[in-house]
């Protein structure tokens, strides 16, 4: 919801853009491209049409919750390996529901990114860093069952996040809304959904996870919790704005590959702080992750490499936007 602040400031201090009809006429007269004309035909959402942005907001809320609960039952390494599948799910959904075209080499790039994320988790598992991740006193069968539950919840959460990415891309194709505006609407509906769910839970149970009174006392009574709450709000605001901007400028699949690559930054910071030691398998994994991301987004061009088999190359224009 913090995104409404710059939106209101722009509305107050910036000149109003040309009307939709005038813009359409101008583009036709100037011989604009098909893409420009399609963008001009997008319409401003009515209040009722803006309700569609509650769908990605709900997916974000449920997906994040399921992944966090799944992490309780799952070692971090297994969680990381499972989470990497989001790029493949987004790619499949883009082809199925948005009629996007993904070339053979782009699919290879997606699998390379997934392999990199998988190896990151595998490295953590082999190093034994998650030995106590699911309970020190649990039996082997109990641990295995917990991991199955955790992986199922994480995968459901990832699927909902993929739906969120694809729905946001669809919204941006037919509604004339800026990324910052989409985030603002999603924040508005997210607050409404969260407040409603927590209030109903508080009235029905009044304790445990739904004890709102205790939550507010802890938040405002502890400066550290209050400060981190505000910092998380700002961080997530910028994170969502950048993510939807990537969807707007590129597409949801490109966004998922770049989003997955933030694991590299976490790894570098963890080593710099001394929280994690260097492993060659992780180095290989992050090399695959970064290379696949750069290849999919066109920064490097495997189509021009002589070592790439001809049957993988697509001589037509590379289109995935």
List the domain boundaries for the chain.
Answer: 50-129+139-306
Task: Give Cα separations from 272 to 128, 235, 261, 264, 298 (angstroms).
Answer: 20, 21, 18, 12, 30
pLDDT of the residue at 319: 46
What's the CA gap between 319 and 321, in Å, rounded?
6
pLDDT of the residue at 32: 47
**Which pair of structure tokens corresponds to residue 294?**
């750069």
DSSP 299-318: SS-GGG-TTS-GGG---S--
Mean of all residue pLDDT scores within the chain: 82
pLDDT in tens, 261-274: 787 887 788 888 88
Give the E-state strand segments of 158-238 in sequence order: none
pLDDT in tens, 222-262: 999 999 999 999 999 999 999 999 999 989 989 998 888 78
Whether pTM > 0.85 for this model: the answer is: no
Spans of the chain, pLDDT less than 50 = 18-19, 23, 27-28, 32-37, 131-133, 135-139, 317-321
pLDDT of the residue at 38: 53
pLDDT of the residue at 77: 74
């Amino acid at each position: 919801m913090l995104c409404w602040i710059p939106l209101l400031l722009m509305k107050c201090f910036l000149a109003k853009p040309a009307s939709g009809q005038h813009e359409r006429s101008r583009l036709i007269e100037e011989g604009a491209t098909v893409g420009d004309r399609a963008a001009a035909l997008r319409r401003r959402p009515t209040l009722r049409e803006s309700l569609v942005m509650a769908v990605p907001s709900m997916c974000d809320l449920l997906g994040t919750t399921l992944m966090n609960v799944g992490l309780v039952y799952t070692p971090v390494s297994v969680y990381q390996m499972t989470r990497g599948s989001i790029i493949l799910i987004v790619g499949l959904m883009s082809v199925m529901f948005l009629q996007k075209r993904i070339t053979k080499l782009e699919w290879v790039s997606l699998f390379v990114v997934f392999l990199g994320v998988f190896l990151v988790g595998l490295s953590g598992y082999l190093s034994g860093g998650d030995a106590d991740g699911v309970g020190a006193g649990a039996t082997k069968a109990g641990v295995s069952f917990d991991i199955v539950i955790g992986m199922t919840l994480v995968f459901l959460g990832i699927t909902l996040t993929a739906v969120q990415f694809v729905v946001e891309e669809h919204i941006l194709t037919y509604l004339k809304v800026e990324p910052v505006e989409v985030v603002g609407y999603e924040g508005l509906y997210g607050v409404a959904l969260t407040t409603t769910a927590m209030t109903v839970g508080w009235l029905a149970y009044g304790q445990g996870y739904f004890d709102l009174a205790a939550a507010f006392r802890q938040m405002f009574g502890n400066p550290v919790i209050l400060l981190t709450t505000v910092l998380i709000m700002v961080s997530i605001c910028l994170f969502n704005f950048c993510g939807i901007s990537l969807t707007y400028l590129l597409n949801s699949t490109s966004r998922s590959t770049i989003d997955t690559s933030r694991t590299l930054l976490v790894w570098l910071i963890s080593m710099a702080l001394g929280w994690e030691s260097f492993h060659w398998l992780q180095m290989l994994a992050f090399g695959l992750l970064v290379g696949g991301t750069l290849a999919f987004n066109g920064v490097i061009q495997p189509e021009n490499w002589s070592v790439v088999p001809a049957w993988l190359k697509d001589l037509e224009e590379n289109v995935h936007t």
